[in-house]
Amino acid sequence: MARFTQADLSELNKTFEERTPDELLQWAGAIFGKRVAALSAMQMAGSVVCHMLSRLQVNIPVLFVDTGVNFPETIATRDRIARDYKLDVITLTPKLTMEEQTAKYGILYLTAEGQKECCEMRKSAPLHEARGRFDCLVGSLRRAEGGARSRFQILSVDPAMNCIRVNPLANFGDEEMERYIADHKVIVNPLHYQGFSTISCNRCTTPVLPGEPKRAGRWRHLGPWSVYCGINPTDMDGGTSIAIDLPQELIDRLLGRTTDFSI
Ligand code: SF4
């Protein structure tokens, strides 16, 4: 194993700005083989990534964290995507049911501190259980979402999962995404057509009013709306010194030192 830092990705990140989502997904499949998975919360952008994976036939499974308090529409979207796109959707679950958690800790999501604990137990921890299985996770973050997401790098290191994160839709604008969805009749969580700009647990997500920021419906009861659950490390404070451990052979392949694979 060798240390690999966010700074080691800087050159690749520069060249990847010119790549299309298709090219980035094909790159991930070619470099990481069976050690890559996508992560989707079954929101609109995640559905687009799932459609691309299916269309490109890159054989990348999809991880979905079922917090136990997702909207039924979200679960139905997961099932439709798995069936219609013929994807291997792997559902990850928290250790405790929401009832067990509430009996033990109370209703956590009512306070800012409790929200962090609840998101850690119900979202991050189930994903972290899969640490070691994957060297790369494909996300569906877009810079057009604004806020903390307006500046993230296409490739980043994720110390909690000890893997690389790649977000192929980083430069996908709103209009581009709408066009892709219409052109390909992408399966979209119906809540997006009921005023939900982003979708998470039913306890903490509301629709947004016209003119409100896209994330205004998340943890509305807690005040400031620029809150993130922590499952995407690029939403949190990052830095070029953040490091993970990867096999040297994988680092060489990743940085194009031992292969003439090009995109
Ligand atoms: S979004 Fe709310 S209910 Fe869901 S894990 Fe986070 S705090 Fe808990």
Label the pairing between strands 163-166 and 62-65. Answer: unpaired
Confidence at residue 150, expressed as pLDDT on a 0 to 100 scale:
84
* Cα 118 to averaged position of ligand 1 atoms, centre (Å): 5
* Cα 122 to averaged position of ligand 1 atoms, centre (Å): 7
pTM: 0.94
Confidence at residue 215, expressed as pLDDT on a 0 to 100 scale:
83
- Is residue 161, in this structure, part of any structural domain at all? yes
Ligand 1 pocket mutation, candidates 104, 123, 201, criterion most atoms within 8 A of CB = 201
- Is residue 263, in this structure, part of any structural domain at all? no
Nearest alpha-carbon partner for 176 in 44, 80, 74, 82: 44
Tell whether ligand 1 has an atom less than 6 A from the beta carbon of residue 119. yes
* Cα 134 to averaged position of ligand 1 atoms, centre (Å): 25
Active-site annotation, residues: 229
Tell whether ligand 1 has an atom less than 6 A from the beta carbon of residue 65. no
Confidence at residue 203, expressed as pLDDT on a 0 to 100 scale:
95
Tell whether ligand 1 has an atom less than 6 A from the beta carbon of residue 205. no
* Cα 129 to averaged position of ligand 1 atoms, centre (Å): 18
pLDDT digits (tens, 9 = 90+) for 11-47: 999 999 999 999 999 999 999 999 999 999 999 999 9
Confidence at residue 47, expressed as pLDDT on a 0 to 100 scale:
98
- Is residue 186, in this structure, part of any structural domain at all? yes
* Alpha carbons within 13 A on the beta-carbon side of 152: 30
Residue nearest to atom 5 of ligand 1 (CA): 119
- Is residue 259, in this structure, part of any structural domain at all? no
Q: Is residue 63 a contact partner of residue 158, using CB atoms and an 8 Å limit?
A: no
CATH code at position 174 = 3.40.50.620
**Total domains, the chain:** 1
Phi, psi of 29 (to 5 degrees): -65, -40
Whole-angstrom Cα distance, residue 24 to residue 41?
20
- Is residue 201, in this structure, part of any structural domain at all? yes
Confidence at residue 148, expressed as pLDDT on a 0 to 100 scale:
77
Tell whether ligand 1 has an atom less than 6 A from the beta carbon of residue 203. yes
- Is residue 207, in this structure, part of any structural domain at all? yes
* Cα 201 to averaged position of ligand 1 atoms, centre (Å): 6
Whole-angstrom Cα distance, residue 244 to residue 254?
14
Tell whether ligand 1 has an atom less than 6 A from the beta carbon of residue 200. yes
Confidence at residue 220, expressed as pLDDT on a 0 to 100 scale:
87
- Is residue 77, in this structure, part of any structural domain at all? yes
Residue 217 belongs to what domain range? 2-254
Tell whether ligand 1 has an atom less than 6 A from the beta carbon of residue 133. no
Tell whether ligand 1 has an atom less than 6 A from the beta carbon of residue 122. yes
pLDDT digits (tens, 9 = 90+) for 194-228: 999 999 999 999 999 998 888 888 888 887 655 67
In ligand 1, the atom with minimum distance to the C-alpha of 123 is 5
Residues of the chain with pLDDT under 70: 224-227, 237-240, 258-263
- Is residue 262, in this structure, part of any structural domain at all? no
Q: Is residue 37 a contact partner of residue 134, using CB atoms and an 8 Å limit?
A: yes
